[in-house]
Structure 1
């Protein structure tokens, strides 16, 4: 069974033929919402909206541990995480779809591990390649079958949020080698790795980052472009 984590632009999955919903309790508190089970074509899928059904949970307030643990507890074999990001690299324009290959974590204060506390041994996972290679290749192949172009390689800078970044911060991220910027890519990737669940990300570029394109990053948002990209994203998921 494949898991899909929906972002702020995909709080529901219209291509999912829903069979049932299930509330999952975890040792780490409540997930963002109930898990939604169903099928996309012949594939069993479970969906969770990381920001909640009403898109009301801010990035820094998401219970990432509960979400990932809940998905793992129902036996998923892979997680595709949908995210909304800002474009930094000149060729990654609003409306682009991106499959990141690496990330830089700038978040703080989030629960980044399942292995903490006096009764738990420390576990150090290798995150040199934070995204699962096979799942990334499957996503890229799905995009090709759907006849859609995606950015194959990019570095995802994960910031704390919920505010957008300053122009100087984006300039720093660019110097650090980041190509896109978002707020939810970590600690999801690390938590999935700790539980041995393959994890990859498919991102919609919703705007230029601050200081690029229009001066105000929020003003870069074009609802028509994003609606088209969201439809393309769902075609990729269907092909996957």
Structure 2
């Protein structure tokens, strides 16, 4: 059975639980090395590929992820649907720690990253439509899978992508709130845009690890709390993806 679905794991998701018949594959790309070898296996009897965005030991910071190589590698292996799992902060009142969201919009605040496959000499220049940055069909399938698996998710929300690796100031989060952002993360872009250039169906599972600065009651964001919240939210991802595959 041909590969269809690939998952890019973010902070806290360096291996995908439940994969069977696992193999590891280093993929050469025109854009350099991927963050980690691609792990291929079966989930719910279906072939799945998994790639750890930050490397398997979280050695690659958000602004140095080779997004082009990662997305290209999954595409070259035959993936047509890609799910990006992202650890994020919550801004909107209903998007607190341990909530899972399936966002539908992005605002890009990053800088200095390679944002397009057009960024090489001789490449075709593509002006892709990015009005809706996440694929409607894959978003709908994820929402249906969540309902089937009994996983509570928030439908929609605007993901504000920041440069990292530092967390944001209160003033920056206040600006993002005024801009209409509901979530803040560091890896949502340019991953989504690169997937669109390759005509992949792409959607995000956003795992809320903490409140954005100034949005919760905490005077300071605790890394211990962030990772504890991530463990709780990350545990829901295999159930959600399994339900997605079982519905195909």
Shorter-chain TM-score: what band? over 0.9
Give runs of ≥4 in structure 1 deviating > 4 Å. Answer: none
Residue in structure 1 matching 2:130, options 121, 127, 132: 127
Q: Match of 2:47, SS?
A: strand
1:78-109 deviation digits (Å, cap 9, x = unpaired): 00010000000011110000100000000000
Instruction: Note if contact 1:97-1:203 (Cα within 8 Å) is conserved in structure 2.
Output: yes
1:231 matched to 2:235: yes
* Superposition deviation, residue 203 in structure 1: 1.0
Q: How many pairs align? A: 240
Residue 46 of structure 1 corresponds to 49
Specify the SS of the correspondent of 1:221: helix
* Structure 1 runs not aligned, ≥5 long: none
Instruction: Tell me which moved more, 214-223 or 110-119.
Output: 214-223
2: CA distance, partners of 1:100 / 1:164? 20
Give the TM-score, by structure 1 length. 0.96
Matched, 1:197 2:200: yes
Q: 1:73 aligns with which of 51, 73, 76?
A: 76
**By how many angstroms is 1:224 displaced?**
4.4
Is 1:145 paired with 2:148?
yes
SS in 2 for 1:217: coil
Alpha-carbon distance, 1:120 to partner: 2.3
* Partner Cα separation in structure 2 for residue 160 and residue 147 of structure 1: 34
For 1:116 and 1:195, locate their aligned partners in 2 and report how far apart those are by CA, in whole Å.
14
Of residues 79, 89, 92, the one that matches 2:92 is 89
1:220 CA displacement: 8.1
Work out the CA distance in 2 between the residues paired with 1:18 and 1:109: 39
Instruction: Establish whether residue 215 from structure 1 lines up as the match of residue 219 from structure 2.
Output: yes
Normalised TM-score (structure 2): 0.93
SS of equivalent to 1:56: coil
Task: Tell me the distance in 1 between the aligned counterparts of 2:123 and 2:240.
Answer: 40
Provide the C-alpha distance between the structure 2 equivalents of 1:219 and 1:231, rounded to a whole number of angstroms.
18
> Does the Cα contact within 8 Å between 1:211 and 1:217 map onto a contact in 2?
no
Deviations 1:33-72 (A, max 9, x none): 1110001112210000000011110000000000000000
The gaps in structure 2 that reach 5 residues or longer are none
Partner of 1:33: 36
The worse-fitting range, judged by mean Cα deviation, of 91-100 and 114-123 is 114-123
Contact 2:87 / 2:230 at 8 angstroms: preserved in 1? no
